[in-house]
Amino acid sequence: MKTNCKSVFKKINILVVFLLFGWSITAQVGIGTTTPDAQVDIVAPAATGNALQVNHDNTSNGSSSIWLRNFGLGRSLNLQSLNTANNIPALQISQIGTGANARGLDILMDPTSSAIGLAVFQNGANDGIYVNPTGTGYGLFNQITGSGGAIYNLLEGTSTLGIFQDLSQNGGVAEYINLEVQDGTGVYVNATNNPAVPTSGGDSFSLLSDVYTNTPTGAGLVYGGILAGTQYGNGVGVIVNHQGLQGRNAEFNVNNPGNNDPVIFATSQGGGSVIIGENQNNTIVGTAYVADFAYTGTDVADHVGVFGFSVPAAGWGIGSIGQGGWYGMFSVGDSGATGVKTFTIDHPEDPERKILKHFSIESNEVLNMYRGTEIFDANGKAVVNLPDYYDSINKNPSYQLTPIGAAMPNLYIESEISNGKFIIAGGEPNKKVSWQITSERNDPYLKQNPEQREVVVIKEGERNGKYLNPELYGQPKEKGMFFNANNENQKVNKIHNPVLDTLDQLKVKRDKMTKLEPSEEEVAANTNGN
């Protein structure tokens, strides 16, 4: 054993002498082996201890402990951990310096090189790169001054996860992207063979998040979300373009039946519309519905498809306005109102300062009205012809006659309505009579829905105990038949966003890190091998 140790130390001493004095060694040197397969081959047969240890003991020496230069085509450094039972890193870098430029690893690429700064090929089952910072700095910092990318991940084989970021221990921000005033894209996802003219693409999501927050929330408050952000410039907060022949451009779902909050909540502090929807297709076949709102459940209650509310002050505000070339508002089925129904125009004699209103006549019957004037013939009779559709939509008429030009006390209906006409008799020849017919509406809709003629309707189900206008009866607004709780909660949304809370801290760190460019002395030292 002593002989072997002496032999090893002798070889090491000879190697050190050659290295110190620059003497040339043409033969291969083996330390711990008699059959070296490299220019210098060190084999450590002992159970403990390092195979090679280099100590740089002078604390004022700024040169490198080991400097490797390769003018060939191979690697400057190749590390292989060949024991399959090994459970520790193949390479460990410990940096205990506290200076601003103290980094674990610097990779300096030639500006004209197209090579990759760091490439990791992971063929096993664990992580390609695992970063676990326990201090206040970044676990991984990339500064690219050339035209290459900071990180390039190529997934091959059965791998399905490019980057996994685990913030389960401390929370924080998984990824912070800073563009400042530069043009650019925060995240670009390409899931098609050709973004310009795609012919195929994957069943993919540009962003897929699972977020669960268990913090009690009040109305209008949000604690956590899948997507949160603030647009400070003149651009658009969110842009989503759909180029496919099928598929929705956006979809939002609330899947918990116990959640009574709105699916979409939007506010505006400006004077513009909160939501604008336009259909700009010029070749539509059929009818286009710019906005579709529907309740499609089976609950027995008066659910409202669209609710419009605007009461900025007493006597002001319009809940809904419709404008169309045919109808401004159209109801398929019955229409109703708790207030008066008015015909409203600018007052024709003072249109700038006044509004003129006429009111609809109410009735306890569903009625149609027809009127006109006729001239009596020489026999004191007048035949009145009604519209040809009269018999199809009316029944049970009542008659009102008013003589014009002379007293006619003997006026009477000689023949009631039949085949769209009736006869008035007892008039003065060549004099006029004004007539009015009021008939009960009897078109196919009312024939098939006779219950719509009912004047008194019993409040059943969820209507029972509620009011159309509870305030008129001294009842709270919550007892309104159409009380809208969401309307009461329409306040400015307050978002608690940890990303926004830590932006200032991240900017400070970013400014420090971006200033850590190698100094001229560092570049020269690396070039000269110091």
- Span 163-215, pLDDT tens digits: 888 888 877 778 888 888 888 888 888 877 777 777 777 778 888 888 877 76
Arithmetic mean of pLDDT over the chain: 82
pLDDT band at residue 140 under the 50/70/90 scheme: confident
- In contact, 364 and 438? CB cutoff 8 Å: no
What pLDDT score was predicted for residue 495? 55
Q: What is the mean pLDDT of residues 81-107?
A: 81
For the entire predicted model, the pTM comes to: 0.64
Q: What is the mean pLDDT of residues 86-114?
A: 79
Which residues, listed in sequence order, are joined to residue 222 by a DSSP beta bridge? 495
What's the pLDDT tens digit per position in 353-400?
Answer: 999 999 999 999 999 999 999 999 999 999 999 999 999 999 999 999
What pLDDT score was predicted for residue 433? 98
Give the β-pairing of 342-346 and 355-359: antiparallel
pLDDT(217) > 80: no
Residue 55 is which amino acid? N
pLDDT band at residue 244 under the 50/70/90 scheme: confident
Beta carbons within 8 Å of 106's beta carbon, 6+ residues apart: 518
How far is it, in rounded angstroms, from Cα 155 to Cα 127? 12
How far is it, in rounded angstroms, from Cα 45 to Cα 47? 7
What's the pLDDT tens digit per position in 353-362?
Answer: 999 999 999 9
What pLDDT score was predicted for residue 49? 80
Beta carbons within 8 Å of 62's beta carbon, 6+ residues apart: 525, 530
Select the more confidently predicted residue: 384 or 336: 384
Residue 261 to residues 265, 487, 488: CA-CA distances in angstroms? 9, 11, 11
What pLDDT score was predicted for residue 216? 57
pLDDT(346) > 90: yes
**Residue ranges of the domains in the chain?**
1-47, 172-195+207-230+260-269+492-530, 367-488
What pLDDT score was predicted for residue 372? 98
Residue 362 to residues 74, 78, 372: CA-CA distances in angstroms? 97, 95, 22
- In contact, 462 and 301? CB cutoff 8 Å: yes
How far is it, in rounded angstroms, from Cα 129 to Cα 291? 49
**Over the range 345-383, which residues count as b (16 or more CB within 10 Å of their CB) and which as e?**
eeeeeeeeeeeeeeeeeeeeeeebebeeebebeeebbbe
Give the β-pairing of 421-425 and 367-375: unpaired
How far is it, in rounded angstroms, from Cα 34 to Cα 31? 8
What pLDDT score was predicted for residue 51? 78
What pLDDT score was predicted for residue 529? 58
Half-sphere exposure of 310 (CA within 13 A, CB side): 7
- For residue 167, give the nearest of 141, 133, 205, 120 by alpha carbon: 133
Angle CA(373)–CA(375)–CA(378) in degrees, nearest 5? 160
How far is it, in rounded angstroms, from Cα 377 to Cα 427? 9
